[in-house]
């Protein structure tokens, strides 16, 4: 817990930020305050801030999404970085554990993860017709292949590195437009 003070006044006359780190859940709370608030007022603010999480309630049998936290340069669920999903699921709630935690029915591929989660990383799953994906019949021709072949060299250039020069060519590929032309090493285009 700490205070960041001597900040410019907000429209609601606050000039400090109260920073609270919950050591159990690893969540950080930032609450706008005034430097002259009493201890009792700070306690009321903290309780009102945290009590909002308890207003959310799920029931056994409900389906929910589980929030996953992205880490840089880590592959999660077959995607890396910004494209990795923020929520996974839906998973069914098996039971309520205390006031603010729930046990979930996880698939076997997540068997290394503890199955009880804090309420703040759960989101309700609302089923609807937009979530149903219909698979249409797709015709597959056996032996069908697709190969890109270079058509034309548009531009030549030399990339100078510290101790080496690389000859590059901008290549126009078959079945692609000029805006999709790519730089390739010249020796791979012979």
User: pLDDT tens digit string along 78-131?
Assistant: 555 666 677 888 899 999 998 889 999 988 888 888 899 988 889 888 876 666
User: pLDDT tens digit string along 34-87?
Assistant: 989 998 998 888 877 777 655 678 999 999 988 877 655 544 555 556 666 778
The yes-or-no verdict on residue 180 having pLDDT over 60 is yes
Q: In this predicted structure, what is the pLDDT of residue 60?
A: 94
Region class of 137: left (phi > 0), else alpha (psi between -120 and 50), else beta: beta
| Mean pLDDT (whole number) for 153-165 | 88
Q: In this predicted structure, what is the pLDDT of residue 116?
A: 92
Whether residue 66 contacts residue 116, with contact meaning beta carbons closer than 8 Å, is answered with no
Nearest to residue 171, comparing CAs of 160, 186, 146? 186
Distances from the Cα of 24 to the Cα of 44, 53, 95, 109, 118, angstroms? 21, 15, 21, 26, 10
Higher local confidence (pLDDT), 134 or 20? 20
Residue 138 preceded by cis peptide, ω within 30: no
**Residue located via tokens 């880490």:** 71
Give the integer Cα–Cα distance in Å for 64 and 134: 22
Distances from the Cα of 34 to the Cα of 48, 51, 52, 162, 187, angstroms? 16, 21, 22, 56, 68
Q: In this predicted structure, what is the pLDDT of residue 175?
A: 79
User: Which tokens in the block code for residue 82?
Assistant: 């910004």
Q: In this predicted structure, what is the pLDDT of residue 74?
A: 47
Say whether 186 sits in a helix, a strand or coil: helix
Distances from the Cα of 95 to the Cα of 40, 60, 99, angstroms? 36, 5, 11
């Amino acid at each position: 817990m700490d205070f960041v003070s001597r900040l410019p006044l907000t429209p609601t006359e606050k000039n400090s930020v109260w920073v609270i780190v919950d050591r159990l859940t690893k969540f950080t709370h930032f609450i706008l305050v005034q430097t002259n608030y009493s201890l009792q007022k700070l306690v009321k603010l903290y309780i009102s801030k945290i009590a909002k999480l308890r207003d959310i309630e799920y029931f056994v049998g409900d389906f929910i999404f589980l929030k996953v936290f992205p880490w840089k340069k880590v592959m999660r669920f077959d995607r890396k970085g910004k494209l990795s999903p923020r929520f996974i699921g839906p998973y069914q709630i098996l039971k309520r554990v205390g006031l603010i935690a729930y046990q979930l029915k996880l698939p076997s591929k997540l068997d290394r993860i503890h199955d009880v989660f804090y309420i703040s990383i759960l989101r309700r799953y609302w089923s609807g017709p937009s979530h149903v994906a219909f698979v249409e019949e797709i015709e597959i021709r056996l032996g069908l292949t697709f190969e890109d072949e270079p058509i034309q060299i548009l531009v030549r250039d030399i990339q100078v590195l510290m101790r080496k020069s690389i000859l590059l060519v901008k290549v126009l590929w078959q079945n692609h437009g000029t805006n999709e032309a790519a730089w390739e090493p010249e020796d791979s285009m012979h």
